[in-house]
A and B are shown apart, each in its own frame.
Chain A
């Protein structure tokens, strides 16, 4: 009993000291401190080491610190909308908007000591945009506007476009487009799938499959004075409860993807000032795909009724307490340059504030379309709990309120994609995550099925395709905004091809020791770690 009492006294002292202690260093921590090893949890693992071919953040988080890209979003910009040079020092755009000339930094060295030149940029982009036979590159679809990549001298790269593009700079800031060494690619296009060798701030040390990934400081990094960390260690932790435990038990400083509100609250409650929370709207959204090839979802009145049934504002309030969703938004993340102003958003079907009126309209439309009260359909949902499960339950409840009877079919991930692509569903949960908030990326999916393999609604809409092209080629931002609004109106209101549910909300509770890292709307960004430092 006495020992127990002593433990309590000691524990109280430790808590009291802990509560006071962070205040002192925090005040003196404006200047980055060198040293230390950043430890972070990664919920997924890289399948291969080649980001040009992979789709998962599981490769970005542990492997990105070994590489640079040509451009990147400013790591201090919370919206990730401002583009800065990474390997490019400066750039110019020709008057016709079709030639982009980049001047490269001098003295950039690969980790093997060789110099990085325009040859390497060209080889990397040629692999992505014009892959040789036998090399699959999904991302070439993103660069359909590129005619040629040229390297006129060792420090100049030129991209020639077929037409002007409003998004080209953003697409060169893709976190997937790591710059590889040309000589290696010339010998073996698949070498980077199993090896790591870049110009980034950290040098590869080891990868123990299923366990962890280690990088150490690159002493010859071109950005003098960086990185601040001695190294980093990414621990692969699949289970979210174990990730929370890792942060709480100080086995990890941070997890860069995101936690749920409940997980955030438990960490804040347990660790108090030892935890810093950063939050942002997330460039991910759960969508509802309605199969236009199945009746009655070929009827736009029925699709519109499904949207009108949703009380998105009430849903946002309720769901944001338990799930990683929050903002009511259109086709762009709120707060970003092309986002829909709230006043315009309210005009779209299902975005008004009078839910009684909207649901009465929904019932009328269903009756007009010949859909009887109590009509039953199956809603296919993906077998991932967060946020698919709560959002799925919410959708079913909303649709029930306009007299629809919805049966949920939860499908395991591997089967789910086959079902979606094969059109084997009536209504299904679909999703989209962007690496950067850019209309070209976010709207591509919604073009006609002949153009977009990810159009699971299986519709053809020439007008939508035309609007996509117009917004993509509009160089003037105001003109582009106009086309985006038209696209959005057609997609979500006039034709109601797809339903947007709620924007995801990214929450990163991390150790207060971690400084120099800024949250962005994408979990694919800001993982080079060159600006990150530890207070102790």
Chain B
């Protein structure tokens, strides 16, 4: 198992390296210029001399290969530098947003699991009954409903019915749990519902498949208690694809909730990402891509470990 873990960890390095090279050069290909945008955009006085001074300050007057070596050197030392737009250390820019995005992803995952697993299992067990139809309608509706739209509905409902709006400034959970939850529960529900729809459908189909396996029939023939068959034999095996879906969605939530963050005015990584690209803030965009790539790779690594734990055959391959 240790060898397996080390092998998977080592595989992360070339993947991250590839991402680093790609994002660096892709950003340089995209048309537009941070200096033009920031200093020439609204100013009628922006002279070429001033724009050149700013470019030199940001290191954009250097040849691309030198900029690349500088960026890779920093990456090796885990030093992402400073944001070109704000001048603030990138670690500082990401820290607070990451806490919010991580908490929201965890809360949405809890909502999704709490809905998806029981509903998926019940729908599979009661296949083609009214219960199954209701679950299928709910999950298809969830897939068809963008979470930001549901978020807008929540906000309007809260405003119109209760004359109340969730807090618009993030308070960490450990500072004030009530304020924290009052702000994040709504986006967590909006995102969690959509997320649960994917997981419910996956749970249902995986359960249906497993319930038709020979070993389930054998267990029933042996007269095993139905609850035991479901929990120990069926559900555990059905969880493999569900786990993958949940993990991938979780990783996506870390940096992908742009519109939902906008609707609820959440200071998360998704909006930071969009702004960094819109501002052509190379250093910040590169750091964010690396972070999201790392989260995806790391979550996949954890899923692989979970697979190995759930299905021992994987460890021996």
Contacts and interface: CB of A to CB of B under 8 A. Distances in A.
Interface string B89-110: 0001100110000000000000
A139 B48 CA distance: 13
A414 B39 contact: no
Interface string B15-33: 0000000000000000111
A54 B50 CA distance: 12
Interface string A78-117: 0000000000000000000000000000000000000000
A248 interface: yes
A194 interface: yes
A418 B32 contact: yes
Nearest to B54: A136
A209 interface: yes
A142 B44 CA distance: 9
Contact of A210 (B37, B51, B271, B279): B271
Contact of A48 (B51, B87, B97): B87
B254 to A, nearest CB: 16
Contacts of A421: 36, 40
Interface stretch (B111-119, B160-168, B205-213, B214-222): B160-168
A215 B165 CA distance: 24
Interface in A98-157: 134-142
B301 to A, nearest CB: 29
B159 A249 contact: yes
Interface stretch (B65-73, B223-231, B257-265): B257-265
A136 B263 contact: no
B41 A413 contact: yes
B96 A211 contact: yes
Interface string B72-84: 0000000000000
B31 A141 contact: no
A375 interface: no
Q: How large is the interface on B (under 10, 10 to 19, 20 to 34, 35 or more residues)?
A: 35 or more
A54 B48 CA distance: 16
Contacts of A417: 32-33, 36-37, 40-41
Contacts of B263: 239, 241-242
A532 interface: no
B272 interface: yes
Interface in A427-447: 432-433, 441, 444-445
A142 B46 CA distance: 11
Q: Which of B47, B54, B169, B280 is packed against the most chain A CB atoms within 10 Å?
A: B169
B152 interface: yes
B300 interface: no
Contacts of B159: 245, 248-249, 270
Contacts of A142: 45
Interface in A409-468: 412-415, 417-418, 421, 432-433, 441, 444-445, 452-454
Contact of B86 (A209, A235, A248, A454): A209
Nearest to A239: B262
B275 to A, nearest CB: 8
A454 B48 CA distance: 11
Contacts of A432: 44
A210 B267 contact: yes
Contacts of A251: 165, 167-168
Nearest to A48: B87
A69 B10 CA distance: 58
B126 interface: no
A68 B25 CA distance: 44
A248 B37 contact: no
A318 to B, nearest CB: 27
Nearest to A433: B42
Interface in B271-286: 271-272, 278-280
B97 A210 contact: yes
Nearest to A238: B262
Query: Which of B44, B87, B92 is packed against the most chain A CB atoms within 10 Å?
Result: B44
A433 B42 CA distance: 7
B62 interface: no
Nearest to B50: A136
B7 interface: no
Contacts of B265: 235, 237-239, 242, 246
B271 A238 contact: yes
Given A47-B85, A414-B280, 8 more contacts: A134-B57, A137-B50, A141-B47, A212-B169, A235-B168, A249-B158, A432-B44, A453-B46
20 contacts: A48-B87, A136-B53, A137-B50, A138-B43, A138-B45, A140-B45, A141-B45, A193-B87, A209-B86, A209-B267, A211-B96, A236-B267, A238-B271, A239-B263, A242-B168, A249-B163, A270-B159, A417-B41, A441-B44, A453-B40
